[in-house]
């Protein structure tokens, strides 16, 4: 991968989530940058996963060709209930789809801005929850492939949202929810033939984020509108950098943007003069 382009921050679960951001051949421990002024300057180019450089993406972070041809942009990526690799039916690239879909998946319930249902590869579980800024999460079901998780999700999302309200997620910590009793309640709606996959694991994962100050009225910053983003870092939640003056920057939605990242240490500067 091109080291000049933005990629989502990597995380590790600790007392508070630890965030790492790699760009321009450097890795930053982002938690340590809270209180410092950061600067992200866009070079006016984006880079597709296939290596093609462009002025802007065609759609959903892909170039035209990838959007219409890559298995990573197929319909079942956005709608897991359309997955067919478990039936040996190709959508765009059966070998890739088998590798991606025929792996254990979780259906989970999380509380990031209220209750939501979601799916993820089992290996991604906690990472997914941290990326969404969830404060609590519980596994509802563990299934052998992506299609079954999509089928369960479809039946559950008639009762709870499958979306995170990111503005609400960024405005503070949500009220605690009794996820276990909601799991029991929602398990009733799992389709009969998939009930065998309801998980016995009732552990609730609790997640805290390094935020010194939440925004009051969230203003989202976009590089293609502004060219650059600059401000004192106040915290990190989900894949968002929270900056001073209620501004937020979604790192994940800027994946592929070719940029320069720099840090100024304000406290160090003021002590010099
Ligand atoms: Zn491409």
> Is residue 138 helix, strand or coil?
strand
The span from the CA of 162 to the CA of 247, in Å, is 25
Full-model pTM: 0.93
Output the six-digit token pair for 99.
Answer: 């590798």
Question: What average pLDDT does the structure give for the chain?
Answer: 95
Instruction: Return the percent helix, strand and coil in the chain, to nearest 5.
Output: 30, 30, 40
CA angle 23, 18, 253 (to 5 degrees): 50
Per-residue pLDDT at 40 exceeds 60: yes
Ligand 1 center to 58 CA (angstroms): 9
Per-residue pLDDT at 268 exceeds 70: no
Which DSSP category does 56 fall into? S
Output the six-digit token pair for 159.
Answer: 């009762």
Ligand 1 center to 78 CA (angstroms): 17
Q: Which residues surround ligand 1, an ion (CB under 5 A)?
A: 48, 50, 52, 63, 66
Confidence tier at 3 by pLDDT (50, 70, 90)? confident
> Is residue 102 helix, strand or coil?
coil
pLDDT in tens, 144-201: 999 999 999 999 999 999 999 999 999 999 999 999 999 999 999 999 999 999 999 9
CA 241 to chain centre: 13
Q: What are phi and psi of 238, to 5 degrees?
A: 60, -130
Ligand 1 center to 39 CA (angstroms): 27
| Element at 153 (helix H, strand E) | helix 146-156
Ligand 1 center to 48 CA (angstroms): 5
Ligand 1 center to 100 CA (angstroms): 19
Pairing of strands 219-221, 247-250: parallel
Residues 6+ apart with CB under 8 A from 135: 111, 112, 173, 174, 176, 206, 207, 208
Ligand 1 center to 92 CA (angstroms): 15
Ligand 1 center to 225 CA (angstroms): 22
């Amino acid at each position: 991968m091109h080291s000049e382009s933005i990629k989502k921050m990597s995380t590790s679960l600790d007392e508070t989530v630890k965030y790492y951001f790699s760009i321009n051949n450097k890795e930053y421990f982002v938690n340590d940058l809270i209180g410092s002024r950061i600067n992200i300057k866009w070079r006016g180019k984006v880079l597709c996963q296939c290596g093609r450089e462009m002025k802007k993406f065609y759609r959903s972070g892909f170039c035209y060709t990838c959007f219409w041809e890559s298995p990573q942009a197929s319909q079942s990526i956005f709608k897991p209930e359309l997955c067919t690799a478990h039936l040996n039916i190709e959508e765009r690239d059966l070998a890739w789809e088998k590798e991606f879909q025929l792996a254990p998946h979780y259906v989970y319930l999380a509380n990031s801005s209220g209750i939501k249902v979601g799916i993820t590869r089992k290996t991604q579980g906690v990472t997914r929850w941290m990326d969404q800024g969830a404060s609590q999460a519980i596994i509802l079901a563990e299934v052998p492939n992506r299609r079954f998780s999509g089928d369960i999700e479809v039946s559950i999302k008639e009762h709870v949202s499958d979306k995170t309200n990111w503005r609400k997620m960024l405005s503070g910590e949500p009220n605690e929810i009794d996820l276990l009793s909601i799991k029991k309640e929602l398990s009733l709606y799992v389709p009969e033939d998939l009930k065998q996959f309801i998980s016995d694991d009732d552990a609730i994962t609790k997640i805290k984020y390094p935020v010194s100050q939440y925004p009051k009225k969230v203003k989202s910053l976009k590089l293609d509108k502004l060219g650059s983003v600059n401000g004192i870092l106040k915290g990190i939640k989900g894949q968002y950098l929270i900056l001073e003056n209620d501004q937020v920057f979604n790192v994940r939605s800027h994946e592929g943007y070719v940029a320069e990242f720099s840090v100024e240490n304000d406290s160090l500067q003021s002590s010099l003069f």
